[in-house]
Amino acid sequence: MFEKVLIANRGEVALRIHRACREMGIKTVAVHSEADANAMHVRLADEAVCIGPARAADSYLNKSAIISAATITGVDAIHPGYGFLSEDADFAEMVEEHGIAFIGPKPEQIRMMGDKLKAREFAKECGLPVVEGSDALQSIDDAKEKAATIGYPIIIKAKAGGGGKGMKIANNEQEIATAYMMARAEAKASFSSDEVYMEKYLQNPRHIEVQILADSYGHVVCLGERDCSIQRQNQKIIEETPSPALNEQQRKELCELAKSAMEKIGYVSAGTLEFLFENGKFYFLEMNTRLQVEHPITEAVSGIDIVREQLRIADGAKLGYTQDDIKLNGCAIECRINAEDPETFVPNAGKITEWHAPGGLGVRVDSEIYSGYKIPPFYDSMIAKLIVHGRTRNGVLMRLHRALEEFVIDGVKTTIPLHQKIIAQPEYIDGLYDIHWLENNIRNFR
Ligand code: ADP
């Protein structure tokens, strides 16, 4: 097994990876920006290397600095976490060229899935249903022509998209020009590529995704689905498994579809296939070739440590079980807690003066925060994930209420009050929500 792994990330996911490594007897190397010298995972790691100034472009996205840190410390492998370089095929290739294992899929798989148009082509070849859409758009007139064939509303999306960026909706021909220009500008700024394409905009879908694990010997297992429909500005806020919207038959169908697609490309490592689900039909959206923020809810119901499996698979181990061995127990919900004003969503970095995380049966908190920690203003505002597991959805909701009530975070504003309001809404309690439900109803929450 690997002896030493470099964690090319920060925040809760860096700590998450550190924990898996420690439990496997693997030494860890933390890399951090000047702003993160006091981070928890930096303190806990066996070694730490400062890779640059606070700005992510100068540190967590600085490939050569990370490779140098890996070479100097003599690691066997690099885990990229999520975000930053986790879906950068060039980085994965660089890592391998230096004789270091990249903990994730093969660079060509990352490259293909990072191009949403190629991913759509692949999905069609595998028999995965996709939303009606276009190829790359050439001009405003081209966009108008294609939208007329597909039918309004449509959504213009960045080919290299991610994180909900570079997506603009047009409800009619008059809105096309603005949507096209804005999507291109945002795509250019976020992904340095202004290529965009178009999809039919579904009105009331749910976002349902499937967790896959695959080893290098062609074994693929599906660890069930996650419903991530509670979103704001295309960003997930609460996720749950199983989805309250699926019956056993649909769940099985989705799992089989995802598995056969992964077998077809010989996918290796953990991955997630994302779908929209509307009127009983699934539509493939994209694949994420990395660990997801919401992976712990799958761990809760499956009992499988996904990061541990990523490490084992990267080291050439076989999956020690088949699909039949996987039993998904109960229900789990995750709340993403952000350091933001719960009404305006303005980020609220600062010093944590008091911190008390909830505990007890079925409660897990993944966070880097400790009392006295100063949240730097340079990065994502998510500061904790609260994951609650139990036998029934009702039981989990009760447990979630009490866990949110126990949570004490002083010094910065957080989105805990928003979570408390969401889980008290009758539609949420009944599992009757789609991707627009939160934004359409948030004004009426009391
Ligand atoms: P990203 O990679 O930027 O996260 P995705 O393609 O995964 O982009 O889409 C993110 C979210 O945007 C989805 O969960 C959904 O809420 C919304 N979305 C994307 N495509 C469509 C579509 N064709 N119709 C309706 N909503 C969509």
Instruction: Report the candidate in 247, 262, 321, 333 with the shortest Cα–Cα distance to residue 296.
Output: 333
Of the residues 159, 167, 225, 286, which should be mutated to test ligand 1's pocket, given the most ligand atoms within 8 Å of the CB? Answer: 167
**Do residue 297 and residue 220 come from a single domain?**
yes
Whether 16 is in a domain gets the answer: yes
Instruction: Report the candidate in 327, 325, 349 with the shortest Cα–Cα distance to residue 338.
Output: 349
Of 200, 223, 245, which closes a domain?
A: 200
Whether 120 is in a domain gets the answer: no
Whether 111 is in a domain gets the answer: no
Whether 102 is in a domain gets the answer: no
Whether 405 is in a domain gets the answer: yes
Print pLDDT tens along the chain (446 aa): 999 999 999 999 999 999 999 999 999 999 999 999 999 999 999 999 999 999 999 999 999 999 999 999 999 999 999 999 999 999 999 999 999 999 999 999 999 999 999 999 999 999 999 999 999 999 999 999 999 999 999 999 999 988 888 899 999 999 999 999 999 999 999 998 999 999 999 999 999 999 999 999 999 999 999 999 999 998 999 999 999 999 999 999 999 999 999 999 999 999 999 999 999 999 999 999 999 999 999 999 999 999 999 999 999 999 999 999 999 999 999 999 999 999 999 999 999 999 999 999 999 999 999 999 999 999 999 999 999 999 999 999 999 999 999 999 999 999 999 999 999 999 999 999 999 999 999 998 87
Q: Rg of the Cα trace of the chain?
A: 21
Q: Residue 308 belongs to what domain range?
A: 206-444
Q: Give me the amino acid identity at 220.
A: V
Whether 11 is in a domain gets the answer: yes
**Do residue 181 and residue 212 come from a single domain?**
no
Whether 335 is in a domain gets the answer: yes
Instruction: Say whether pTM exceeds 0.75.
Output: yes
Of 150, 175, 200, which closes a domain?
A: 200
**Do residue 269 and residue 337 come from a single domain?**
yes
Q: Is 154 in the pocket of ligand 1 (CB under 6 A)?
A: no
pLDDT score of 165: 87
**Do residue 325 and residue 212 come from a single domain?**
yes
Of the residues 82, 186, 285, which should be mutated to test ligand 1's pocket, given the most ligand atoms within 8 Å of the CB? Answer: 285
**Do residue 83 and residue 182 come from a single domain?**
no
Of 200, 224, 243, which closes a domain?
A: 200
Q: Which of 290, 336, 364, 399 is catalytic?
A: 290
**Do residue 369 and residue 438 come from a single domain?**
yes
**Do residue 427 and residue 403 come from a single domain?**
yes
**Do residue 142 and residue 273 come from a single domain?**
no
Among the atoms of ligand 1, which is closest to the Cα of residue 283?
Answer: 23
Q: Is 155 in the pocket of ligand 1 (CB under 6 A)?
A: yes
CATH of the domain at 419: 3.30.470.20
pLDDT score of 343: 92
C-alpha of residue 284 to centroid of ligand 1, in Å: 10
**Do residue 195 and residue 246 come from a single domain?**
no
**Do residue 356 and residue 326 come from a single domain?**
yes
CATH of the domain at 16: 3.40.50.20
pLDDT score of 194: 94
How many domains does the chain contain in total?
3
Task: Output 233-236 pairs: Cβ under 8 A, ≥24 positions apart.
Answer: 233/164, 233/439, 234/164, 234/167, 235/163, 235/164, 236/207, 236/293, 236/294, 236/336
CATH of the domain at 141: 3.30.1490.20
How far apart CA 279 and CA 23 sit, in angstroms, is 44
Whether 259 is in a domain gets the answer: yes
Torsion sign (Cα): 125, 130, 132, 137: negative
**Do residue 227 and residue 361 come from a single domain?**
yes
**110 and 95 in contact (C-beta within 8 Å)?**
no
**Do residue 255 and residue 384 come from a single domain?**
yes
Query: What does residue 292 show for φ and ψ, rounded to 5 degrees?
Result: -105, 155
